[in-house]
Amino acid sequence: MRSYSVALRRFQTPQGQARGILQNANTYQPSIIGSLYEASLSRRCASPNTLYRALTSAQALLSWANDTNIDLERQLLAGIPLDIRDIEAFAHWLEMRCRKDAATLTRASIKTYNAHLAGAERMVTWFVDQYYDIAHEKLPRGVLLDALHRTSRRAWKSQHIKEAADSAAPDLSDDDISTVETFLHSAAKANNAEPRWVRAYLIWRLAIEFGMRIGEILALRLEDCPSRANPAFRVVRIEDRKGSPDPRGVYAPRPKTLGRDLAPILSNTAFPHLVIDYQVDHRLKRVRRASGRVVRRPVLSHTYLLVDDEGNPLSVFTARNLAKAIEHNTGVLFSWHLARHAFFNRAYSAVAGIEFPTERTIRLGDLIYWGGWRDPGSLDCYVRRARKDRARTGIAIWNGSNRWDALE
């Protein structure tokens, strides 16, 4: 998407709260309505990711107003909603930016377009609720606002582009999994192994064995790892964290799923020894002695499990580069989230194959907990994947046989 004339600057308070400011990209003048809306969002949004998504939609709306010389500040502070012509103009402006140089919107850009349109509508609705003047109206405020929102909602909804039905979850084949495992295991266990491959193998096993998101893996602290008292990994949401703020600041990983405890379930698990070995041999910091010699010592100022070569908490950017390096070295189309999907595709197939309905229902509930989802519908993409895989094996509709005798 093309750059916006209104910039979104992210920052973190000394208390570790994620905040943002919307300002003119050229003059750095903050937006009044952007600041008011951000203040409300920061109070209501538990997740920094939710806050930033809402602010990104506000950024698009404010940039459109700036580019088209519409005094949106005055209009929204008066509680006046956008009329259908302005909504259509904004939708067209947004579509052109989502297209980039393509002739049509891709599936991904349609999702972005619709998300920004919905976010802009929520922003306008908030200002109408706050500032709409009913001094000269005879009907109750709630009745007037309800009618106003219904009319506005139809106008916004008319600009949404229909999205294709959700697809099945992507997957890694068993051959792909074996290829990645063989490469990373060999690279991590080699004599004088490169630290990047050691940390990559640890991330890989956490993703493929537990279905963890990359953000959850990078947010793991030593106290979240298995111990004699608790053999499970603890996944903790960012708002449930105690202690000092993440030193990665606004780019800190933000676990988005529910907190949960995950114990190893495979007989050939790599844990807990993989974590223990990593802590002893690789969770180190470079220290320069008085003689000038550089040595590595476990004297870190934080308790995050995964660290870079300097002993700092591993960044999301570095983790993504590791995934690209794995793809380059193995020839397997790869991402960390693909490993998560590979785990849940197999976990769902195993649970769906349970013969007894009551036990199957209980285990599906367990799987929802394992994934950290609030909504059982989050499993739907794995249901579609299982259905798609079953279809590949053929559907026996000819009296239990796959042969059709009427055909040559």
Residue 6's DSSP bridge partners are 24
212-223: b (≥16 Cβ within 10 Å) or e:
bbbbbbbbbbee
Per-domain residue ranges for the chain?
6-157, 167-408
Higher pLDDT, 408 or 12: 12
Q: How far is the CA of 191 from the CAs of 195, 197, 270, 279, 322, in angstroms?
A: 11, 12, 19, 18, 20
Q: Please answer whether residues 336 and 203 qualify as being in contact, where contact means their C-beta atoms are separated by less than 8 angstroms.
A: yes
What pLDDT band is residue 45 in, cutting at 50, 70 and 90?
confident
pLDDT of residue 165: 67
Q: Over 80: is that where the pLDDT of 38 sits?
A: yes
Average pLDDT over residues 376-393: 84
Residue 406 has pLDDT above 90, yes or no: no
Confidence at residue 392, expressed as pLDDT on a 0 to 100 scale: 66
> pLDDT tens digit string along 86-135?
999 999 999 999 887 777 888 888 999 999 999 999 999 999 999 988 76
CATH number corresponding to 167-408: 1.10.443.10
State residue 136's pLDDT score: 62
**What pLDDT, on the 0 to 100 scale, is given for residue 181?**
96
Would you say residue 400 has pLDDT above 70?
no
